[in-house]
Amino acid sequence: MTKITIKSIKQLKHKPEPFAALTAYDFTSAQLVDKAGIPLILVGDSAAMVMLGYETTIPASLEEMLMLTAAVARGTQSALVVADMPFMSYQSSVEDAIRSAGAFIKKGLAGAVKLEGGRHMVPQISAIVDCGIPVMGHVGLTPQSFHQMSGYRIQGKTETTAQAILKDAAAVQSAGAFSIVLEGIPAELARQITKDLDIPTIGIGAGPHCDGQIQVFHDILGLGDFAPKHTRQFARLGALITDSVVQYKKEVASGKFPTPENYTHLSDSIQKTLSARGNGADPKRP
């Protein structure tokens, strides 16, 4: 199986068709996504919401993200695994950014890291890249700025804010990022950024003109109750899982499960010894 590198991801910019990237947060989901041929798996800090039950991505800690990233890396053979740097693991200083990015590569076994922010994150991006760690940028709606944005709101709708995002994207590229996520911006702005930049743009809620699209695992599979506007449920696995668990519960209660193929018998002689000692009686299954 070919291992996807940042070189392979950069080459996707020149393909006529857009590519699909997806999040994953554990060993099993990473195996499933990797088997489907997705070239880039992001261990998003959306884990804080879909895996840990927080209301925003802000509470995700470095330790939690490291544990999830290492599990995803163990489940991935081909895709490039990108670790999302959690809130306050890189904003505070260039030194913190280098230390956190280094941990994701050494302990998390990731192939790259992602961080949110434009021009003001240039020192962090270039310092991490200078250490030999590939960086993916993220501009537009940056969920770690939830409070500053007064909620999850589409960014870049006015001329001034659109110009600011164009400058942010260009700065992220100049700082050395190998790709960039464009989240929650108008499609025309995403098209312009995609045209301007040499690195691949990966959109989420940013229209069809990006070089690639990225989505959250739980959203496209219909695992949660809520589906954001930017997504499509390609399956309703949440309902399927609940129905399957209800079926399991019913079959346990009715005695349909387990059946002999699910367990092992003792040899006759040992059975006899046990029942002679009075241990063979089963109040539920006489």
Residues serving a catalytic function are: 183
Residue from 216, 220, 221, 223 touching ligand KIV (CB under 6 A): that is 216
Distance between CA atoms of residues 218 and 52, nearest Å: 13
Minimum distance from residue 20 beta carbon to ligand KIV (Å):
12
Binding flags for ligand KIV, 163-202, as an x/- string (CB under 6 A) = ------------------x-x-------------------
Which residue, 49 or 175, is less far from ligand KIV as judged by CB?
49
Q: Which residue is nearest to ligand KIV (CB)?
A: 44
Distance between CA atoms of residues 87 and 126, nearest Å: 19
Residues in the chain, total: 286
Minimum distance from residue 52 beta carbon to ligand KIV (Å):
12
Residue from 9, 23, 51, 180 touching ligand KIV (CB under 6 A): that is 23
- From the list 41-49, 86-94, 232-240, 272-280, the region that binds ligand KIV by CB under 6 A is 41-49
Chain positions 53 to 72 lying near ligand KIV, rule: CB under 6 A, are 57
Structure token pair of residue 132: 């030999």
46 binding ligand KIV? (CB under 6 A): yes
> By CB neighbour count within 10 A (0-12 exposed, 13-18 middle, 19+ buried), where does 215 fall?
buried
Distance between CA atoms of residues 108 and 133, nearest Å: 13
Distance between CA atoms of residues 5 and 12, nearest Å: 11
Which residue, 41 or 166, is less far from ligand KIV as judged by CB?
41
- Nearest residue to 23 via CA among 181, 248, 130: 181
What is the SS3 assignment for 51-62?
A: CCCCCCCCCCCH
**What type of residue sits at position 230?**
H
Residue from 112, 182, 193, 214 touching ligand KIV (CB under 6 A): that is 214
- DSSP H helices, 182-236, are 187-196, 217-220
Chain residues that interact with ligand KIV, rule: CB under 6 A: 23, 42, 44-46, 57, 84, 181, 183, 204, 214, 216
